[in-house]
Structure 1
Amino acid sequence: MAKQARNLRADSVSPIAVAKPRLPLADAILPYLRRIDTARWYSNFGPLVQELEERLAHRFGANALAVTCSNATQGLTLTLKALGATPGTLCAMPSWTFVATAHAAVQAGLMPWFLDADRDSWMLTPQTLEAALPRAPGPVSAVIIVAPFGHMPDVAAWLDFQDRTGVKVILDAAAAFDAAGDPRLPTVVSLHATKVLGMGEGGYVVTDDPALASRLRRLTGFGFEGSRLSQHAATNAKISEYAAAVGLAALDAWPGDRLRWFTAAQTLRQALYGSDIGFQPGWGRDWTTSVCVVATPEGAAPRLIAALKAADIDTRQWWGEGCHASPAFAECPRTDLPNTERLARSTLGLPFYMDLDAADAARIADILKSAG
């Protein structure tokens, strides 16, 4: 009878999803939709898009300019083109990143060159790239650095690298909406539904260079600038007024939502207190994002994933084994990647969302502690 009761309790426990995205509710978007109805301006850089860009730029300071685009991958691709990165050259990047980083370089006509991440910060460092440049398998015209899972790199150090080497630096801050705030490097942020602030699909590029912002704007709109003559080869990467309505409603809710994300992070941190699980520096204390990627003991990730799965708790290895492991990039050059391979074996994406409660956090922690 006792065994049957235990089985009944186990069967009654609900699965825990790895993520539960939440966009603004219909009532919050409605005032913006009514503005669209009144203006009858639906796309092509309308008043809501302009307002959204102004509010996004304001987060980066008085001299910042924001250019919205259909997604952050397009933002990276078009920034490479706007900076004049030479097609056929190499674009350096960490292999420890989402595949969108590499896809963007390919779409811009560059060849990804994969380098190793730092063991502790999980980022490509200027020192690593500068040491590798003399042995590069071809000319390097750009580097895309990455804010892993929302943790920002040292912008000043990369600006110094750019000044000394002439290699253009772009920051892939797709998951760093909360932490990004320095426009001196072109910074690309995602507004995908899974991000900490989302509008379904979308992204934006922030810069303090008006000329670069102008080139980006032309590249998102068929090369038009003040006339119906296309000035150069471009694409259509605009967002609509309807997308901007969702983005503006999300920004309205951001102060309260940010607090909810921090509260959820503290709930999970407290549940895992005393375990051998490590969090990214500042995660849930200084900055927040929509995922919780943790460090586990060397090589422990597969075992912990199996234990969590057995308990009906979903997980993700968001970046798999690194970009270099994807067949799409098998022919791309790379350096030795021991830290990337270690991170693939030892990091784990835990369930995390803004309304994660203490009971679910305790379930996750109990499994991790018992399986550790």
Structure 2
Amino acid sequence: MSDACIDLPVLRPRLPRAEALLPWLKRIDEAGWYTNAGPLHNKLRQRMAAHFGLEPDCVTLTANGTLGLTLALQAQRPPAGSYCLMPSWTFVATAHAVRQAGLKPFFVDVEPETWALSPTSALLQAAGAPGPVGAVAVVAPFGAPLDLGAWDRFQEASGLAVVVDAAAGFDSLKPGRVPAMVSLHATKALGIGEGGLIVTEDAALSAEIGARSRFGFRGERLATVDATNAKLSEYAAAVGLAALDAWPETREAWIALRRLYEKALGGLRGLQFAPGLSGVAASTMMVTGRGDAADMAEDLADQGIGSQFWWGSGCHRHPPFRDCPRAALPFTESLAERSLGLPFHLDMGEAEVERVAAALGRAQRRVAA
């Protein structure tokens, strides 16, 4: 079935409406400041810091999350050309960021209980790398909470650079010293269109990331390190501030939608949610008991319901990364065949969730027949 026949899409982003943006846009007009750490940028930084329980100098706003990941790796100065141990089970932006940071991906498997790396598994799998490992990229799958304290201890003991891709972790991330990226893409629980932020308890590291996001400048027009332009504009900051104004209500709406799904899918056998689904998420990952997610997706589409393989078959299946070394990936391969993203957006209510549940039940019966 073509996408034109899908009347319940898997995703429908919701950003602040024009009337909510207008007061912030007027402030831009009044100040005549449009980028380069203007008043709205600084206010958004302060409010994001408060959200994560940090000081403002521990937060760096970036034009997008991928650039933020790249800069967070570069700021830790891992040896150029060394391997970055990372899960293949992630969105391909993580692998692009590793490459852009001058490192080589070494793909490893995730743990079945969490869909993520642990410090213990990272140490074990690093031994299989074909060369020196200089960094580890950790991924919080679909916003699931991670123990960053454990990764702080790992970094201190190993001496490796560590970065955390917590793209969907706006509501779940508890910062540590290792830098963590949160995406502000339109598809996230709190989105601004394009944007991201890096949080860390290490203010000196945050300053280094910030300098690398603005041409290497540190208060004067002198480039001190290799850098890029990853600054967040005042207009993007305006959207972020309007989104934060509405966050308490938005957060409750996400939680209510998740609860509707938990209730509606609770009676379907052979299905489970991705681990760590609690609080706020902007997507729902369903896992089937067998490798039949593709058949389920086709059947849902026949019923007018969209779905998505958010991470495809893993990064190692994408053409730019097929030649990268990798460990055995049995659980990643299994997840690729069994996981499917269901419709999950704030235009949905009880009727839409129940429609998805009923369609899943029919799809189960047809696939099993």
TM-score, with length taken from structure 2: 0.94
- 1:133 deviates by 2.2
Task: Assess if the C-alpha contact under 8 Å between 1:314 and 1:351 holds in 2.
Answer: yes
Task: Report the 3-state secondary structure (helix = DSSP H, G, I; strand = E; otherwise coil) of the residue aligned with 1:141.
Answer: strand
- 1:33 deviates by 0.7
Partner of 1:8: none
Letter in 2 for 1:34: K
Task: Assess if the C-alpha contact under 8 Å between 2:6 and 2:301 holds in 1.
Answer: no
C-alpha distance in structure 2 between counterparts of 1:183 and 1:56, whole Å: 15
Partner of 2:258: 265
Letter in 2 for 1:298: R
C-alpha distance in structure 2 between counterparts of 1:82 and 1:23, whole Å: 32
More deviation in 290-299 or 96-105? 290-299
Partner of 1:10: none
2:91 pairs with one of 98, 110, 118: 98
More deviation in 312-321 or 154-163? 154-163
Q: Please give the residue correspondences for 1:352-367 in structure 2 after superposition, counting only pairs within 5 Å.
A: 352-367=344-359
Partner of 2:367: none
- 1:61 deviates by 1.6
C-alpha change, 1:282 and 1:114, in structure 2 (3 Å) is closer
Deviations along 1:58-97, whole A, 9 cap, x unmatched? 1222446110011000000001111112210001110000
- 1:57 deviates by 1.3
Task: Assess if the C-alpha contact under 8 Å between 1:260 and 1:355 holds in 2.
Answer: no
RMSD of the TM alignment (CA)?
1.4
1:48 pairs with one of 20, 31, 40: 40
Partner of 1:182: 175
- 1:168 deviates by 1.8
Partner of 2:297: 305
Letter in 2 for 1:204: L
Task: Report the 3-state secondary structure (helix = DSSP H, G, I; strand = E; otherwise coil) of the residue aligned with 1:236.
Answer: coil
- 1:126 deviates by 1.7
Deviations along 1:263-305, whole A, 9 cap, x unmatched? 111112211121132113452xx32111111111121212211
1:207 pairs with one of 200, 204, 211: 200
Task: Report the 3-state secondary structure (helix = DSSP H, G, I; strand = E; otherwise coil) of the residue aligned with 1:59.
Answer: helix
Deviations along 1:327-351, whole A, 9 cap, x unmatched? 0101111000000000001111000
Letter in 2 for 1:288: V
Task: Report the 3-state secondary structure (helix = DSSP H, G, I; strand = E; otherwise coil) of the residue aligned with 1:135.
Answer: coil
1:255 pairs with one of 248, 255, 261: 248
Deviations along 1:99-151, whole A, 9 cap, x unmatched? 00000010011001100011121112222211122222111111110010110
- 1:187 deviates by 0.8
C-alpha distance in structure 2 between counterparts of 1:48 and 1:247, whole Å: 9
Deviations along 1:186-214, whole A, 9 cap, x unmatched? 11010011111011100000111111111
Q: Please give the residue correspondences for 1:11-26 in structure 2 after superposition, counting only pairs within 5 Å.
A: 15-26=7-18
1:337 pairs with one of 325, 329, 345: 329
C-alpha change, 1:253 and 1:337, in structure 2 (3 Å) is same
C-alpha distance in structure 2 between counterparts of 1:22 and 1:231, whole Å: 40
Letter in 1 for 2:274: Q
Partner of 1:3: none
Task: Assess if the C-alpha contact under 8 Å between 1:191 and 1:197 holds in 2.
Answer: yes
Deviations along 1:5-48, whole A, 9 cap, x unmatched? xxxxxxxx971100110000011111111111111111100011
Residue 233 of structure 1 pairs with residue 226 of structure 2: yes
C-alpha change, 1:298 and 1:154, in structure 2 (3 Å) is farther
Task: Report the 3-state secondary structure (helix = DSSP H, G, I; strand = E; otherwise coil) of the residue aligned with 1:278.
Answer: strand
Residue 278 of structure 1 pairs with residue 278 of structure 2: no
Letter in 1 for 2:134: S
Partner of 2:133: 140
Task: Report the 3-state secondary structure (helix = DSSP H, G, I; strand = E; otherwise coil) of the residue aligned with 2:37.
Answer: coil
Task: Report the 3-state secondary structure (helix = DSSP H, G, I; strand = E; otherwise coil) of the residue aligned with 1:213.
Answer: helix
Residue 326 of structure 1 pairs with residue 318 of structure 2: yes
Residue 346 of structure 1 pairs with residue 338 of structure 2: yes
More deviation in 223-232 or 330-339? 223-232
More deviation in 177-186 or 233-242? 177-186
1:68 pairs with one of 61, 65, 72: 61
Partner of 1:161: 154
More deviation in 156-165 or 343-352? 156-165
C-alpha change, 1:141 and 1:351, in structure 2 (3 Å) is same
Task: Assess if the C-alpha contact under 8 Å between 2:152 and 2:176 holds in 1.
Answer: no
Task: Report the 3-state secondary structure (helix = DSSP H, G, I; strand = E; otherwise coil) of the residue aligned with 2:106.
Answer: strand
Aligned length: 358
1:117 pairs with one of 90, 103, 110: 110
In structure 2, list runs of 5 or more residues that go unmatched: 365-369
Task: Report the 3-state secondary structure (helix = DSSP H, G, I; strand = E; otherwise coil) of the residue aligned with 1:68.
Answer: strand
C-alpha change, 1:89 and 1:282, in structure 2 (3 Å) is closer
How many percent of aligned residue pairs carry the same amino acid? 47
Deviations along 1:152-191, whole A, 9 cap, x unmatched? 2222222222222211211100111110122322110100
